[in-house]
Chain A
Amino acid sequence: MKINLNSTLFNAPIAIALLALPFIIDALFGHGWVRIADFALLYIMLALGLNIVVGYAGLLDLGYIAFFAVGAYTYALLGSPQFGLHWPMYVVLPLGALIACGFGVLLGAPTLKLRGDYLAIVTLGFGEIIRIFLNNLNAPVNITNGPQGISAIDPLQIGGFSFGDSFEWMGMRVDDVHLHYYLFLAFTLLVIFVSRRLEDSRIGRAWVAIREDEVAASAMGINTRNIKLLAFAMGATFGGISGGLFAGFQGFVSPESFSLMESIMVLCMVVLGGMGNIGGVVLGGVLLVALPELFRHAAGPVQQMLLGKVVVDPESLRMLMFGLALILVMLWRPAGLWPSTQRRREFDADDSVLHQEQETVYDASK
């Protein structure tokens, strides 16, 4: 039996820790780090969405950030002076998720027959297409404002309450970064809840079955087309929600936020943390957001202290260390830092018992 979500996530100590976290971070590290925590939550949502596609259904998607972009631009276009539209958040966010979901199906449909490397290449192309579209849709009719991006986006607000405000509460200063933290935390918990429920259901089993052996899955009566599209759609929906929140939080979106590098970052969170395991993916998200920031802040002073001057630019050193960390993790923990029990066993050595080629139904029918 799986551990009940209610007993794990909502038990009191963890709940209190999560609620107090932004203030603890604020007190210990300063304001900027609460903002980083907000971003970590956005990325965790993204990574959990990608986890459905890559971790459960085994479909390698390298253009996932496109759905984040779709969500963000939906929010930006409908809640900014760009078109003079200022639709409320509770309309725009679900709409963004829905449109992203539509794009997920749109991407999924032509790639159904592809697998592995080939799927990765096509999805990578799709991600770039979306970004290039956003970059160039400023002429002949200006829709996205091109590379300048869209600014002055409405803050996230419900009724009269804006998450962009700050106020005093019981002698504590509550800022926009704190408020956004709680909003994002709520959405992240929702995404975790949905992931868990799906994982342990008829649908989740069908996803894993397709990952394990697509031919056998179809022979068992699973409509592989629909179930794969469902995985794409669910993953994209999470991406769209995260994107909308990002736009409202940031107040500004431009195409450069949605580069291939971002897709790869999110994929790294999933792979590094532990594919198919929600806890691992959350861990991956936290680490890959927090560590580079930590490094950025520390690299300069540490060099100063040890060598007397800054020898290597902290920014390039950051990527170097990131690459090194990836290689080390893949060498020593190929299934991720905190793998699902299933995946860990997959990487065990005793695979010889049951070896099957991973051909698709479509290969078989040729």
Chain B
Amino acid sequence: MTPPSNRLLELTGVGKHFGGVTALADVSLHIHHGDIYGLIGPNGAGKTTLFNVVTGLYQLDSGSFQFAGQSYTRCKPHLLAQAGIARTFQNIRLFANMSALENIMVGRHLRTRTGIWGALTRNAAARTEERATVQRARELLDYVGITCAHQTLAKHLSYGEQRRLEIARALATEPKLLALDEPAAGMNATETVALKALLQKIRASGITVLLIEHDVKLIMGLCDRVAVLDYGKKIAEGAPEEVRRDPAVIAAYLGGEAA
């Protein structure tokens, strides 16, 4: 069966285990172009593992996934980034001792070309590219709403700003799919509202978003479709409202045979 063309990412029977522990078992799901797709589940359900598989940090043990019409089983992270998947990390992984601006400029690495020769000679092409890189990085800082000095080191930013900077850095790679691993974790209510607005803005700009989140209210208010993982298996998928009423989901969250 060929996937309908509106599917950006499609996982087919993806499995991943670590020694005897099965982190993902036969997970199949698909994400449509332009959606915000939520991935929820209790702790240890395999959400982050799924992320790491899709972004190439883990190699999957069975199954495969298709992204933008291309099929992958084993792939390096930088090639998936090249293909258009950008991510953030659950435990923020910025380049701590680089400035906010430089962090985003590193994100532009993929879409710029200057090599050794260009760096040494600083020829016209290299200078133009460097100017464009700085320019784009500034725009992205504004875009995600980081107002502090651009030369501030990443590690000196506030927690909420670090989260935003990670998103900006990911956006700098010009992704088709932006994968966010618990972007609202540790944020206060105001910051979460601002994040929600930012994600809607990103979606409106045509980028598909894959979101892991614990904040159910955020997920319900934001996502077009949601999948629920439990013990490495997908137990439900669909519109947020349907999923919320799914008995299996309720059981997974509340434990045992809850109503």
Contacts and interface: CB of A to CB of B under 8 A. Distances in A.
Interface of A: 194, 197-198, 201-206, 208-209, 212-213, 215-224, 230, 234, 342-343, 345-346, 350-351, 353-354, 356, 361, 364-365
24 contacts: A198-B119, A201-B119, A201-B126, A202-B105, A202-B119, A203-B115, A204-B119, A205-B105, A205-B109, A209-B98, A212-B98, A216-B89, A216-B94, A218-B81, A219-B77, A219-B78, A221-B82, A221-B109, A222-B110, A224-B78, A230-B116, A354-B162, A356-B92, A365-B59
A219 B55 contact: yes
Contact of A212 (B92, B95, B130): B95
A348 to B, nearest CB: 9
A354 B81 CA distance: 24
B167 to A, nearest CB: 13
Contacts of B102: 205, 208
Nearest to B102: A205
B226 to A, nearest CB: 24
Interface of B: 52, 55-59, 76-78, 81-82, 86-87, 89, 91-98, 102, 105-110, 112, 114-116, 118-120, 122, 126, 129-130, 133, 153-156, 159, 162, 169-170, 172-173
- 7 smallest A-B Cβ distances: which pairs? A221-B110, A221-B81, A201-B119, A212-B95, A354-B155, A216-B93, A218-B77
A288 B169 CA distance: 41
A110 to B, nearest CB: 18
Given A208-B95, A353-B156, A364-B57, A218 B78 contact: yes
B116 A203 contact: yes
Contact of A209 (B89, B95, B153): B95
A213 B105 CA distance: 15
Contacts of B112: 202
Contacts of B76: 218, 223, 361
Nearest to B89: A216
Contacts of A230: 116
A361 B78 CA distance: 10
B90 to A, nearest CB: 11
A203 B155 contact: no
Q: Main SS of the interface on chain A?
A: helix
Nearest to B59: A365
B93 A215 contact: yes
Given A197-B120, A202-B130, 6 more contacts: A197-B122, A198-B116, A201-B130, A202-B129, A222-B78, A361-B76
A198 B87 CA distance: 27
A324 to B, nearest CB: 30
Which one of A206, A212, A221, A354 has the greatest number of beta carbons of chain B within 10 Å? A221
Contacts of B130: 201-202
Contact of B87 (A205, A219, A345): A219
Contact of A219 (B58, B81, B91, B162): B81
Given A220-B109, A354-B154, A198 B120 contact: yes
Given A354-B162, A364-B57, A194 B110 contact: no
Contacts of A194: 120
Contact of A216 (B82, B95, B129, B159): B95
Contacts of B87: 219
Contacts of A202: 105, 108-109, 112, 114, 119, 129-130, 133
Contacts of A217: 95, 106
Contact of B96 (A206, A221, A354): A354
B169 A220 contact: yes
Nearest to B175: A221
A216 B129 CA distance: 23
Chain B CB count within 10 A is highest, among A194, A201, A230, for A201
Given A194-B120, A197-B120, A361-B57, A205 B106 contact: yes
- A204, A222, A346, A351: residue with the most chain B Cβ atoms closer than 10 Å: A222
Nearest to A346: B97
Contact of B155 (A201, A218, A343, A353): A353
B92 A354 contact: yes
A213 B82 contact: no
A220 B107 contact: yes
A342 B97 contact: yes
Contacts of B119: 197-198, 201-204
A198 B114 CA distance: 11
A220 B105 CA distance: 10
Nearest to A224: B78
A104 B156 CA distance: 36
A206 B98 CA distance: 11
Contact of B173 (A215, A221, A223): A221
